[in-house]
């Protein structure tokens, strides 16, 4: 049997988390719950009146007034009407709150996705995140429904039944209490197993959804690599595991049903037997059998209700627990106090003795890089030395384990996220496109307030005009997953345009022109030259010719700076850079 990776999400956690989430609706929630409780107490009133009516007729002697009979009938009618009215009035309102909260939770979870550290995202599959959000939000709504339809009737049934019996005859309270304790112990014992399987089911569901999403979104890779059958097999494996787990879940359920229901039926018969004996002995009236059995019935049906719905509850609770994994993730709202704004007058950017590792392997142990404002710096080095990591560290996407990255004297980890992303723009080798028009893709950082002039400038600088002219609806053409498919080089140019439009102080180009032909690349470089005169630019590139015009080139190897200087100086020094240059030239790459 596979062991659970984490303990099952507890009911106490559920209550705490729900109370936190219903903030803003708490008062209404408590009020409507109270009406629901009153409504589910009505059957007790009805049972009591029925008993009184039976006693009235049993002891009736001719000529006696019917007034008490009419009164009880009236109360029965009023209780019935109240029960129906409250069901419609309150339930509808609680469902409404539930719907609102479902919306709120999904939106919160979506927003949270952007806040959670990158390391977590790298471990989770996209489909699994989607499943968490979709089913988690729905679970909360269903849990609220469960609370109204079953939770309240169960608690009022048991508590109300015991209290009512207590007022009638304490002996029956002991009998019934013993019954309840044994029943609930049985439930607890069986439900532990069921909860385990329910949790497994949710985990498998997420994995399945992750696999399906992965296949659907990487369809090109799947086709070109011919890995359909391998993927199909892994989906099949998960599906089989899912099916087998549902069977285990069902089996555990059936065992429980059988045992508990038989026990319950026997206790019910024993209860009636006890009452019958008391009536024969003349201890209680005939009408009491209606009242007692009526109360006992409420308790029994409350317990039945537990047995019938607890599995759904466990599954919903587990689903809700899964979304709480997301909502609970410790993320700091990095845009609020005590995070700071980066001074617009900042002068230097510094990697100060930075040590960083993703998992176990250190990428840098003691990296020192200092860049003055306005400087143009190139970074070269073998593939895998950590050039892109430098770019990611600069944006605070990961935290160094040692040392710090500073803007003047301020560690960037103390900076507001919005301030940092405003100051630094990074263009990666592969810019991601959103399902939006080309124009929206470029101007995405400014939301709806598009500055058309800056957009035009960005388009010209990134040499995008020719592409735009070719597109059916020009810059308003939809690109991205469902739209016009832009080529790798076009994507890079859109990425560059996006960064230019953003107009940050620091621009990091990480292999941002690697897919472009040399002519377009140098055209863009020329365009950038005047535009970026007063900006700080960091260019990461394999093609050394890209770096001809920078002020300084940093050569990295094994996580260390091994050479530094201008293009010409490095050539004169005849070190690693020179060798690399010679190699590229002999291959005609320069
Ligand atoms: N998210 C990650 N998790 C674990 N390891 C990573 C992660 N990203 C990068 N690495 C590893 O860290 C090392 C440095 O990666 P990085 O992307 O910074 O290299 P690079 O110098 O940019 O290489 P390239 O020139 O090929 O782009 C590599 O060995 C890479 O496998
Ligand atoms: Mg890289």
Q: Please give the full DSSP string across 199-229, using - where no structure is assigned.
A: HHHHHHHHHHHHHHHHHHHTHHHHHHHT-HH
Spacing, Cα 389 to ligand 2 middle (Å): 7
Cβ–ligand 1 contact at 525 (below 6 Å): no
* Amino acid 501: pLDDT: 93
Partner residues linked to 554 by β-bridges: 379, 564
- From CA 286, how far away is CA 553, in angstroms rounded? 101
Cβ–ligand 1 contact at 389 (below 6 Å): yes
Which DSSP category does 343 fall into?
P
* Amino acid 314: pLDDT: 83
* Atom in ligand 1 nearest the alpha carbon of residue 556: 21
pLDDT, tens digit only, all 590 positions of the chain: 333 345 678 888 889 988 988 888 999 999 999 999 999 999 999 999 999 999 899 888 888 889 999 999 999 999 999 999 998 888 888 888 989 988 888 888 888 887 777 777 777 777 778 878 888 888 889 998 889 889 999 999 999 988 888 887 888 888 999 999 999 999 988 888 888 888 888 888 888 888 888 787 777 777 777 777 777 888 888 899 999 999 998 898 888 889 988 998 999 999 989 888 988 998 888 888 888 888 888 898 999 888 888 878 888 888 888 888 777 766 555 666 677 888 899 999 999 999 999 888 899 999 999 999 999 999 999 888 999 999 989 988 888 999 999 999 999 988 888 888 889 999 988 888 888 889 998 998 887 788 889 999 999 999 999 999 999 898 899 887 666 788 889 999 999 999 999 999 999 999 988 888 888 988 998 898 888 888 999 999 888 888 888 999 999 998 899 999 999 999 999 989 998 888 888 876 56
Residues 511-550: b if buried by 16+ CB within 10 A, e if exposed: bbbbbbeeebbeebbebbeebbeebbbbbbbbbbbbbebb
* Amino acid 552: pLDDT: 95
* Atom in ligand 1 nearest the alpha carbon of residue 392: 18
Cβ–ligand 1 contact at 400 (below 6 Å): no
Cβ–ligand 1 contact at 387 (below 6 Å): yes
* Atom in ligand 1 nearest the alpha carbon of residue 390: 18
Spacing, Cα 399 to ligand 1 middle (Å): 15
Cβ–ligand 1 contact at 383 (below 6 Å): yes
- From CA 402, how far away is CA 382, in angstroms rounded? 23
Sequence-ordered strand ranges (E) for 361-400: 362-372, 376-381
Query: What ligand is nearest to the CA atom of residue 381?
Result: 1
For ligand 1, atom 14: residue with the closest CA: 386
Spacing, Cα 135 to ligand 1 middle (Å): 34
* Atom in ligand 1 nearest the alpha carbon of residue 359: 4
Q: Is 428 exposed, middle or buried, given 0-12, 13-18 or 19+ CB atoms closer than 10 A?
A: middle
Cβ–ligand 1 contact at 384 (below 6 Å): yes
> ∠ CA 227-231-233 to the nearest 5 degrees?
120
User: Cβ contacts of residue 291 below 8 Å, gap of 6+?
Assistant: 47, 48, 50, 51, 52, 168
Asked if residues 416 and 340 have their Cβ atoms less than 8 Å apart, the reply is yes
Cβ–ligand 1 contact at 122 (below 6 Å): yes
- From CA 406, how far away is CA 412, in angstroms rounded? 6
Number of Cβ atoms within 10 Å of the Cβ of 365: 16
Whether omega for the bond prior to residue 338 falls within 30 degrees of 0, making it cis, is yes
* Amino acid 1: pLDDT: 34
Look up the pTM and report it: 0.67
* Amino acid 517: pLDDT: 87
Spacing, Cα 196 to ligand 1 middle (Å): 38
**Element (DSSP H or E) covering residue 563:** strand 560-565
Q: How far is CA 34 from the centre of its chain?
A: 32
Spacing, Cα 220 to ligand 1 middle (Å): 24
Spacing, Cα 459 to ligand 1 middle (Å): 31
Cβ–ligand 1 contact at 559 (below 6 Å): no
Cβ–ligand 1 contact at 386 (below 6 Å): yes
Q: Which domains can be identified in the chain, with CATH numbers?
A: 11-58+66-328 (1.20.1560.10), 348-586 (3.40.50.300)
Cβ–ligand 1 contact at 288 (below 6 Å): no
For ligand 1, atom 6: residue with the closest CA: 358
For ligand 1, atom 9: residue with the closest CA: 389
């Amino acid at each position: 049997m596979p062991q659970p990776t984490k303990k099952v999400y507890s009911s106490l956690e559920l209550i705490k988390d729900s109370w936190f989430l219903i903030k803003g609706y708490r008062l209404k929630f408590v009020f409507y719950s109270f009406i629901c409780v009153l409504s589910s107490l009505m059957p007790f009133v009805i049972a009591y009146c029925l008993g009184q009516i039976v006693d009235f007729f049993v002891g009736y002697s001719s000529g006696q007034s019917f007034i008490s009979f009419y009164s009880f009938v009236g109360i029965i009618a009023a209780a019935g009407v109240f029960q129906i009215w409250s069901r419609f009035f309150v339930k509808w309102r609680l469902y409404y709150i539930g719907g609102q909260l479902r919306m709120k939770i999904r939106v919160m979870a979506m927003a949270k996705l952007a806040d959670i550290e990158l390391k977590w995202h790298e471990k989770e599959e996209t489909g699994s995140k989607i499943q968490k959000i979709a089913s988690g939000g729905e679970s909360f709504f269903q849990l609220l429904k469960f609370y109204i339809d079953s939770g309240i009737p169960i608690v009022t049934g048991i508590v109300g039944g015991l209290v009512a019996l207590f007022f009638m005859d304490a002996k029956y309270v002991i009998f019934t209490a013993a019954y309840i304790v044994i029943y609930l112990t049985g439930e607890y014992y069986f439900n532990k197993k069921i909860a385990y399987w329910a949790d497994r089911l949710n985990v498998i569901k997420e994995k399945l959804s992750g696999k399906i999403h992965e296949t659907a979104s990487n369809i090109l890779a799947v086709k070109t690599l011919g890995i359909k059958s391998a993927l199909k097999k892994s989906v099949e494996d998960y599906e089989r595991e899912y099916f087998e787990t549902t069977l285990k879940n069902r089996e555990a359920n059936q065992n429980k049903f059988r045992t508990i229901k038989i026990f319950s039926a026997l206790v019910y018969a024993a209860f009636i037997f006890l009452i019958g004996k008391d009536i024969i002995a003349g201890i209680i009236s005939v009408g009491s059998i209606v009242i007692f059995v009526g109360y006992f019935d409420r308790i029994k049906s409350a317990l039945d209700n537990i047995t019938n719905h607890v599995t759904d509850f466990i599954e919903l609770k587990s689903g809700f627990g899964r979304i709480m994994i997301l909502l609970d993730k410790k993320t700091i709202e990095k845009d609020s106090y005590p995070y700071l704004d980066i001074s617009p007058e900042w002068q230097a950017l510094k990697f100060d003795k930075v040590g960083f590792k993703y998992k176990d392997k250190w990428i840098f142990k003691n990296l020192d890089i200092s860049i003055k404002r306005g400087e143009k710096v190139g970074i070269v080095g073998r593939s895998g030395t950590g050039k892109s990591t430098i770019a990611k560290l600069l944006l605070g996407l990961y935290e160094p384990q040692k040392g710090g990255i500073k803007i003047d004297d301020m560690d960037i980890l103390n900076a507001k996220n919005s301030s940092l992303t405003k100051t630094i723009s990074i263009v990666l080798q592969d810019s991601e496109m959103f399902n939006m028009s080309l124009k929206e893709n470029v101007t995405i950082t400014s939301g709806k307030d598009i500055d058309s002039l800056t957009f035009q400038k960005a388009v010209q600088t990134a040499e995008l005009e020719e592409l735009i002219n070719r597109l059916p609806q020009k810059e308003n053409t939809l690109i991205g997953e469902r739209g016009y498919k832009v080529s790798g080089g076009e994507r890079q140019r859109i990425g560059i345009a996006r960064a230019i439009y953003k107009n940050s102080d620091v621009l990091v180009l990480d292999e941002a022109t690697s897919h472009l032909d040399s002519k377009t690349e140098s055209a863009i470089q020329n365009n950038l030259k005047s535009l970026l005169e007063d900006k700080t630019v960091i260019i990461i590139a394999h093609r050394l010719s890209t770096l001809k015009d920078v002020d300084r080139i940093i050569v990295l190897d094994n996580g260390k700076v091994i050479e530094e200087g201008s293009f010409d100086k490095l050539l004169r020094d005849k070190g690693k850079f020179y060798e690399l240059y010679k190699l590229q030239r002999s291959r005609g790459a320069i």
